[in-house]
């Protein structure tokens, strides 16, 4: 007796099916950076609590933040913050019912990457010059 | 426009809360905190840049300045609400089992409140004199 198998129904295609496009990449990046910022708040909270705990704890936190790994994390965090912020500006445009044309969407997606990389580098230059 | 043959009751239509019973509350709060985050994040980046390389007394002096402390508190509040809403959407998109989803959404709320409470406590302790 052959078993009756349910017919293979079509599934909704997931991320790996599609050809990557700028809009798709920036949409994924918005989620990834958002998740990174979410997890990174642990570090911000820990740093603030260290500052509130006294000089010894604060110096330890500063030493960790100033280490090579610490600076890498800080760089990625600042990039995530700025990328999520610039990406959010696109959502404001869309919320107002504008910017849905194919060319505009692509240009805004590209702008998101260019602007967030430039702004991150600018912020780090300012921070390093001022210290 | 809704036709007269709509299954929705007039009261349901007036309330405008939809089938999830919460209307656009989640969406709107996400946008409101996005606007406040935009302003407060720029300020936060400025505060962090001002803190780079400062020794402890100078860092505490800056963080305990009332204006800086109030802006930090607003940033923490706005960011924690926004990140809770955002992570809830991600959980609802990717966690399929109902039980795990409810637990994850609950844990997400606990996380956001714990981070917010710890950060607010630290800023208040610093600004009220360590």
Looking at the predicted structure, is the pLDDT value of residue B71 above 70?
Answer: yes
Name B80's Cβ contacts closer than 8 Å, sequence gap at least 6: A41, B112, B113, B115, B116, B119
Could you report the per-residue pLDDT of A13-59, keeping only the tens digit for each?
Answer: 777 788 899 999 999 999 999 999 999 999 999 999 999 999 999 99
B129 touches chain A (CB under 8 A): no
- Under an 8 A CB cutoff, do B41 and A95 touch? no
CA distance A114 to A108: 10
Mean pLDDT of chain A: 92
- Which of A121, A125, A112, A114 minimizes the C-alpha distance to A84? A112
Of A45, A81, A130, the CB nearest to B49: A130
- pLDDT tens for each residue of B17-42: 887 778 889 999 999 999 999 999 99
Q: Binning pLDDT at 50, 70 and 90, where does residue A93 land?
A: very high
- Residue B6 φ/ψ region, left for φ over 0, alpha for ψ in the -120 to 50 degree band, beta for the rest: beta
Mean pLDDT, to the nearest integer, of B104-119?
98
Q: What is the pTM of this model?
A: 0.88
Looking at residue B4, what is its pLDDT?
58
- Helices of type H across A54-101: 55-66, 68-95
CATH of domain B24-127: 1.20.1300.10
Q: B61 pLDDT exceeds 70?
A: yes
- The answer to whether the beta carbons of residues A41 and B115 sit under 8 Å apart is yes
Sign of the four-CA dihedral B120, A29, A24, A116: positive
List, in order of start, the domains of chain A with CATH numbers: 22-130 (1.20.1300.10)
Q: What is the ipTM of this complex?
A: 0.88
Q: Give the minimum alpha-carbon distance from A113 to chain B in angstroms, rounded to a whole number.
A: 17
Which has the closest alpha carbon to B76: B105, B32, B41?
B41
Average pLDDT on A76-105 reads 96
Q: What contacts B45, CB < 8 A, 6 or more positions away?
A: A78, A81, A123
Domain ranges of chain B: 24-127
DSSP label of B20: T
Confidence of residue B3 (pLDDT cuts 50, 70, 90): low
Using a CB-CB cut-off of 8 Å, the residues of chain A touching B53 are 131
């Amino acid at each position: 007796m052959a078993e009756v198998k349910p017919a293979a129904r079509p599934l909704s295609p997931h991320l790996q099916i599609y050809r990557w496009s700028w809009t798709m990449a920036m949409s994924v990046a918005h989620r990834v950076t958002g998740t990174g910022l979410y997890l990174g708040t642990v570090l911000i909270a820990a740093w603030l609590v260290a500052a509130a705990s006294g000089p010894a704890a604060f110096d330890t936190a500063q030493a960790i933040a100033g280490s090579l790994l610490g600076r890498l994390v800080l760089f990625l965090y600042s990039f995530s913050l700025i990328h999520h912020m610039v990406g959010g500006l696109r959502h404001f445009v869309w919320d107002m019912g504008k910017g849905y044309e194919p060319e505009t969407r692509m240009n805004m997606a590209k702008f998101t990457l260019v602007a967030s990389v430039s702004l991150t580098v600018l912020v780090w230059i300012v921070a390093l010059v001022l210290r | 426009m809704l036709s007269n043959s709509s299954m929705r009751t007039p009261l349901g239509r007036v309330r405008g809360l939809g089938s999830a019973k919460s209307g656009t509350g989640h969406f709107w709060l996400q946008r409101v905190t996005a606007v406040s985050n935009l302003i407060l994040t720029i300020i936060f980046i400025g505060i962090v840049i001002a803190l780079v390389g400062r020794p402890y007394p100078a860092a505490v002096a800056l963080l305990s300045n009332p204006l800086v402390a109030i802006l930090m508190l607003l940033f923490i509040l706005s960011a924690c609400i926004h990140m809770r809403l955002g992570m809830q959407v991600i959980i609802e998109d990717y966690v399929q089992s109902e039980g795990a989803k409810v637990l994850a959404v609950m844990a997400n709320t606990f996380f956001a409140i714990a981070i917010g409470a710890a950060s607010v406590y630290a800023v208040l302790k610093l600004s009220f004199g360590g």
